[in-house]
Every structure is written in structure tokens, then in C-alpha cells.
Structure 1
Amino acid sequence: MLQNGKIKGLIFDCYKTLIDIKTDEKSRETNERLSRWLLYQGVKIEPDRLREEYRWKVIDRLGSSGQQHPDIRIEEIFAEICAENAYREIDPFWLGIETAKTFRTASIKKLEAYPRSLRLLEKYRNVPKCIVSNAQRVFTEQELRFLNLYDRFNFVIMSSDHRIKKPDPRLFKIALDRLGLEPWEVLSIGDTPENDIYPPQSLGMNAMHIREAWKYA
């Protein structure tokens, strides 16, 4: 994969590349769990209304962003919902963060690292590398940490930090600048051509599907 020393840096996607994940964020069960938890935090909102409030606030935030490929910070959405439905005094900022984490916990059905990706990271452990992911920092960083992935990378770029998401090539440009390498010296690896292959290629970088990369593990 790193033939002839041409490739000097690696960019990885996160979910379905490093982490095998399955979530069910829209189910009534997920929203019932979150609604019950919120009752004990000073917020009263029925599960169906919680789901709809969340959906419409996300749509509104994305629509007013002015970006072609916008992203949100989920904790800000939940902070608004909590503030609007509180039955006692709360700290919306703190509760928004904790609600985002609880929402994720309620929705997770599967979360584990791909063994072949772990072998790939180990094989190229001395090569500078980073993650560029459409992800929410508020819970994705913790997932990377408890799967022992976070510290295997020089840095991690998440879409929520920049309020834009792939396929916006600017995220890859940020990664390229931080790696301090030329485009042709970097290989992007991911599972979605529209997000992980074409955008870095548009900047002159190399790109490869994760299943192809696994052959080099």
C-alpha cells in the first residue's frame, strides 16, 4: 500500500471503516429511553414530540447554515430542547452535552472495531495518520477512546467541530495542512466513494476503499 515510499501519510474515515456500528436513532424505544432519562434531569417531553422536535431543529439548523454540506453540533440541539421543556431550573449547556451522550447510548445496537482495521493500524503504526469523519465530537471521541483507537492517530478531525461535513473537501484540506505533506504523499481510506474517495482525489490525493486496504493488513 505504501509502495516505494510514495505515501507518507494516511487519512482514515471512522464509522464503517475503523468502527463497525449500528444505531437506531428514530425508533420509539430510543426516544422513550431518552424521554424517561430527561424526566430525572428536569425536562418533561413525550417521546414522539422529542423525536419531532429534534428532527425539525436539525432541519432548520442545517437549512440556515449557508453551507453546501453543513453539519450541526447535536449537543446544541438538545440544549434548546431541554431549555424549552424544563419544569425546573437546569443548565442547558451541560444538559445538552449529557443528553447527546444518553441519546447515543440509547440508540446503539452495535459498536466495535474492525479487527482487520486494527491490524492495518498496527502494521502502519509509524506512519503519520489522522481521522476525517462525519461525526459528533461529543460522543465519537469517547467511542474512539474506549475502543483504543483515538491515541493511534496524530489528530482527529470531526465534522461537528467545523460545522461542515464530507463530501466538502475542506475537511481533507485541513487534514493535509496539519499533516504537512503534499497531496500525492497522502492516502485517504474509507467506505464511501462520495465522501472518502472523490473529495481527496479532487485535491490530488490518493484514495482507496477500506476493503481494498484490508488486503494490505
Structure 2
Amino acid sequence: MLQNGKIKGLIFDCYKTLIDIKTDEKSRETNERVSNWLLYQGVKIGPDRLREEYRWKVAGRLGNSGQKYPDIRIEEIFAEICAENAFREIDPYWLGIETAKVFRTASLRKLEAYPQSLRLIEKYRNVPKCIVSNAQRVFTEQELRFFGLYDRFNFVIMSSDHRIKKPDTRLFKMALDRLGLEPWEVLSIGDTPENDIYAPQSLGMNAMHIHSAWKYA
């Protein structure tokens, strides 16, 4: 996989590459759980309205970003919703963060680390590596830490930190700069061709689908 030493660094995607996940964010059950929790935090909003306000605010943020591949910070969306629907004094900043975590918990249906990916990371533990992922740091960092993955990488770049997402090649350029390597010295590994294969290849990087990479684990 390292092409006889030509590859000196690895960039991994997160979801469906390191972690297998399934969520149901749009279901009434998910939004009802969040709505019920918010009641005890001083926010009154029903599940259907919560779902619609979330959808409208996300669409508005993305549409007004001016970016080709924009991303949001989900905690900011929930902070707005909480501030607009509070029936007593609250701290929108703190509550936005906590609501994002509760929303993730309520929507989660499956969360597992791929054993093949764990073996792959262990095999190449001495090779500089990072994660570049379309993800929300507010809960993704905790999920990576839960599986003992976060500290096994030199650094982690998440789309929410920069408000842009893959296939925007700027995220890969950030990774290359921090790795201190040339594009042809780095291998991108992921599950989505547009994001993890074609985008890095356009910069001159090597790329491989995670299923192919598992053969080297």
C-alpha cells in the first residue's frame, strides 16, 4: 500500500471508513426526544416545528455561505432555535452545544468501528496520518475518542471547523501543509469517490477506496 516507501503519509475519511454509522435525523421520534429534553432546559418547541426550523435554518446558512461546498456548525443552529423559543433565561451558546449532542444521541441507530480499519491503523502506526472528514466536531470528536481513534492520528480536520466540506480541495491542502509532505507522497483513503478519491487526485495525491485498503490490514 505504501508503494515501497514512496507513500510517506496517510489521510483517512471518518464515517464509513473508520466508523460505521446509521442515523435517523428526520424522524419524528428523534425530534420528539430532543423536544422533550429541551422542555427541561427552558425551551418550548414541538417536534414537528423543531424539525422544520432546523431544516430551514440549515438551508439558509448553506445558501448564504458563498461557498461551493459549504458546511455549518450544528451547535449554532440549535443555539438560534433555543434562543428564539426559550420561556426563561438560558445560555444559548452552552445549550446549543448540549442540544447538538442530544440530537446526535436521539438520532443514532448504529455506531461501530470497523475492525479492518483498526487493524490497518495499527499496522501503519508509525506512518504520519490524519483524518479529513465531513463531520461536526461537537460530537464526532467524542465518537472518535470513544473508539480510541482520535489520538492515533497526528491531527483531525473536520468540515465544521472551516465551514467548508469535501470535495473542496482546500481541506486536503490544509492536511498536506500540516503533514509537511508533497501531494504524491500522501495516500487518501475513504469510501466516497467524489470526496475521497477524485478530489485528492486532482491535487496530485494518491487515493484508494477503503475496501481496497482493507486488503493490506
State the TM-score, normalizing by the size of structure 2.
1.00
1:82 has 2:82 as partner: yes
* C-alpha distance in 1 between matches for 2:95 and 2:20: 28
Structure 2 CA distance for aligned equivalents of residues 11 and 41 of structure 1: 40
Pairwise mapping of residues 137-176 of structure 1 onto structure 2 (< 5 A)? 137-176=137-176
Q: Distance in 2 between matches of 1:3 and 1:9?
A: 12
- Give the aligned residue type for 1:170: R
CA–CA distance in 1 between the matches of 2:197 and 2:162? 20
1:82-107 per-position Cα deviation (integer Å, ceiling 9, x unaligned):
00000000000000000000000000
SS state at 1:22 partner? strand
**Aligned-partner SS, 2:56:** helix
What is the alpha-carbon distance in structure 2 between the residues aligned to residue 184 and residue 174 of structure 1? 15
Amino acid at match of 1:2: L
Q: Which residue of 2 aligns with 1:132?
A: 132
**Do residues 40 (structure 1) and 40 (structure 2) align?**
yes
Report the counterpart of residue 91 of structure 1 in structure 2.
Answer: 91
For residue 165 of structure 1, report the CA deviation from its aligned partner.
Answer: 0.1
> Runs (4+) of structure 1 moved beyond 2 Å?
none
Q: How far does residue 3 in structure 1 lie from its aligned partner after superposition?
A: 2.1
Distance of 2:105 and 2:126 partners within structure 1: 33
- Separation in 2 of the partners of 1:112 and 1:126? 24
Mapped partners of 1:148, 1:102: distance in 2:
21
- Whole-angstrom CA distance in 1 between matches of 2:3 and 2:68: 36
Quick one: distance in 2 between partners of 1:113 and 1:102?
21
Q: CA deviation at 1:159?
A: 0.1
SS at match of 1:45: coil
RMSD (CA atoms)? 0.3
* Corresponding residue for residue 117 of structure 1: 117
Once the two structures are aligned, what percentage of the paired residues are identical? 90
Does residue 205 (structure 1) correspond to residue 205 (structure 2)? The answer is yes
Q: How many residues align?
A: 217
Task: Give the match for residue 63 of structure 1.
Answer: 63
For structure 1, the 5+ residue unaligned runs are none
Distance 1:131 1:137 in 2: 12
